Amino acid sequence: MGLSVRKRGGAAGAGLVALVLAAGAAGCGTEKTVDIDPAAAVAKAAKNTEEITSLNYRMKGEVPGEGQIEGTAAMSMKPLAMSMKMEVAPGGASAPEGGEVEIRLVDQAMFINGGEEAAKEMDGKTWIKFDLAALGAGDELSELGAAGQADKNPASEAGFMADAEGVEEIGTETVDGVETTHYKGTITLADLRESLKDEDQETREARETTLEQYEDLGIDKMTMDMWVDGDERAKQFRVRADAEEGPMDMTITFFDINKPVEVKVPPAAETMDLAEMMNDLQAG
């Protein structure tokens, strides 16, 4: 499976997506959310969700420029660390030949496992290291296709739902054995950007990264669904939108909230440092 880097201005990975990607509830809450106004219930759940410190999540859906992706991730907010494994359909920016992509974000560096194909071109090394401080974190992440989802805090993304319009309660549904209340609403990126001025600096910075990635995709309006559990946090959320390179439809489900997350740096002997390689080329 080969890896490729795309230029800024193209479709950044969403994820989930997007991609990049709202946090959820511990997998044991079963009480129904208090019966209050849908908009107020969603706002409270979004706030509670953004206050979590770590989470595990599953993601599944379609990302513009990438196609179908499916994966799992574990993420710690402070310090920021993330471990993600994704199955990517052939033809995407991150893995043109398709297959599994493994990404780790730790100590201000992103590591991408290119597998056997990458090893053929990197003296047997399977990991590529992107030193975000040396290379420019914002630009590098948005050039990495689906890998650009790695610095997304899904808890922040769930917070977008608090600013959605026309929020309505769909009904009670069970997600991963947990009873939840399903809500739905729509929101524009213009409204999201306007709402940033009322947030504290930490929240603004967390949401700004995701907004920029959505803007790079050419998205201006999204439909969002949130499933709220008995702890009044998001157990699951879904984002749908039309982008320049096709539809986006990503669902993220959360579990193991506020449990320890450990992300290990790959062995140095198996890692090619992109910053060092570029410095060597410039020196040569």
Question: What's the chain's average pLDDT?
Answer: 79
Query: How much of the chain exceeds pLDDT 90, in percent?
Result: 38
Structure tokens at 89: 């359909």
Which tens digits make up the pLDDT trace of 90-138? 766 556 677 888 999 998 888 999 777 777 888 889 999 988 766 555 4
Is pLDDT at 277 greater than 90 in this prediction? no
Gap between the Cα atoms of 159 and 23, Å rounded: 9
pTM: 0.76
Query: Euclidean distance between the first and final Cα of the chain, in Å?
Result: 30
Domain ranges (residues) in the chain: 38-283
* CATH 2.50.20.20 is right for the domain spanning 38-283: yes
Q: 10: buried, middle or exposed (CB in 10 Å: 19+, 13-18, 0-12)? A: middle
Higher pLDDT, 268 or 206: 268
Cβ-count burial 83-119 (b if 16+ within 10 Å, e if not): bbebebeeebbbbeebbebbbbbbeebbbbbbbeebb
In this predicted structure, the answer to whether residue 144 has a pLDDT above a threshold of 60 is no
pLDDT of amino acid 76: 92
Residue with structure tokens 């449990």? 259
Question: What's the confidence (pLDDT) of residue 236?
Answer: 95
Is the pLDDT confidence value at 43 over 80?
yes
Model confidence band, residue 85 (pLDDT cutoffs 50, 70, 90): very high
| Mean pLDDT (whole number) for 45-64 | 91
140 has a pLDDT exceeding 60: no
Please give the Cα distance from 95 to 90 (Å, whole number).
Answer: 7
What six digits make up the tokens of 270? 């198996």
146 or 50: which leads in pLDDT: 50
